[in-house]
Amino acid sequence: MEEDNRKYIGILTSGGDASGMNAAIRAVTRSAIYNGFGVKGIYRGYEGLIAGEVKELTTQDVSGIICRGGTILKTARSQEFTTPEGRRKAYETLQREHISALVVIGGDGSLAGARQLADEYDVVCIGLPGTIDNDLYGTDSTIGYDTALNTIVECVDKIRDTATSHDRIFFVEVMGRDAGFLAQNSAIASGAEAAIIPEDRTDADQLEQFISRGFRKSKNSSIVIVSESPKDGGAMHYAERVRREYPQYEVRVSILGHLQRGGSPSAYDRILASRLGVGAIEALMDGQRNVMIGIHNDEVVYVPFAQAIKDDKPLDKSLIRVLNELSI
């Protein structure tokens, strides 16, 4: 039998799934094989890395997945990987499987995990930004963000039909944890009257501003997009306040929830994921390690993990002005 001298690249998806992760898995796998590497898929993120759930991937294994949401490798948020013992087991799996480099597709928590593994062991890690939140520094967009944005806009268009028919204020809660990219840009794209986002907490009261600016003057119905925020209580909290402080208005709440994470990826996310996947293999061949691959100003860039995770990605404040001016 012929000896297998190929170097193996491991690939996993971690944290919240995002549409386009499959396109990224396909791109990493095919680009790696094209360039003479072997590829091993690790199932259920760091949980599977700890438990040794590993299977070699061929080009056929990633056929027909570019158009599918979710992740064929499955994903998890691993508690065990946050412990030194968990990371030691993960490292042992990499050694046992002869994996010389690991590609991690995920959000900030997942890339922080990759960074820690690389700090503690001699492991080459490459990160790909995969999260609907778009909150990783150094890349203009993250895999899954554009698809989620389009899903939200489609939903808000539908909500508007009923909002105008009943002359109601709707508070629509969208995902984004600590980042308002989804809320702010979906508000602009759907013609919503306001967005309540974590980045704009400097001014006293975003609700008060919205009521006095738009709704009271000329409009009978309004849509306010609210970034989910465990601290504020999200859309429910604002609806309660309006019921209390402005009882003359009829209010409803719509929490879009996990439907924002599903569905076939947009063309933009497929192209982004494909470019980033090829970029990951190029980076490895280029001797890069412990960087996230991003796209900035339409160019592939390498962002050190520390920067991608720690540096806050600023939301362009001019977007707030755009929304305010256009929602009069």
Q: How many CA atoms lie within 13 A of 149 on its CB side?
A: 24
Q: Which stretch binds ligand F6P (CB under 6 A): 41-49, 173-181, 195-203, 209-217?
A: 173-181
Binding of ligand F6P by 177 (CB under 6 A): yes
> Which of these is catalytic: 17, 108, 133, 135?
133
Joined tokens for residue 202: 């400097």
Give me the amino acid identity at 302: Y
Cα distance between residue 138 and residue 152, in whole Å: 24
Residues 91-110 touching ligand F6P, rule: CB under 6 A, are 107
CA distances to 54, 103, 206, 210, 248 from 176, rounded to whole Å, are 31, 24, 18, 21, 31
Q: Least CB distance from residue 132 to ligand F6P, whole Å?
A: 5
Closest by CA position to 193, among listed 217, 165, 228? 217
Q: Which stretch binds ligand F6P (CB under 6 A): 114-122, 130-138, 264-272, 273-281?
A: 130-138
Q: Which residues contact 99 (CB under 8 A, 6 or more apart)?
A: 8, 9, 10, 40, 54, 93
Closer residue to ligand F6P (CB): 67 or 259: 259
Binding of ligand F6P by 313 (CB under 6 A): no
Binding of ligand F6P by 44 (CB under 6 A): no
Binding of ligand F6P by 176 (CB under 6 A): yes
Total residues contacting ligand F6P by CB under 6 A comes to 10
Contact characters 239-278, ligand F6P, x per CB under 6 A: ----------------------x-----------------
Q: Least CB distance from residue 109 to ligand F6P, whole Å?
A: 8
Cα distance between residue 10 and residue 221, in whole Å: 52
Binding of ligand F6P by 132 (CB under 6 A): yes
Q: Which stretch binds ligand F6P (CB under 6 A): 56-64, 170-178, 239-247, 267-275?
A: 170-178
Q: Which of 87, 129, 133, 238 binds ligand F6P (CB under 6 A)?
A: 133
Dihedral angle computed from the Cα positions of residues 57, 63, 64 and 66, in that order, rounded to the nearest 10 degrees? 70
State the catalytic residues.
133
Residues within the interface to ligand F6P (CB under 6 A): 16, 107, 131-133, 175-177, 228, 261
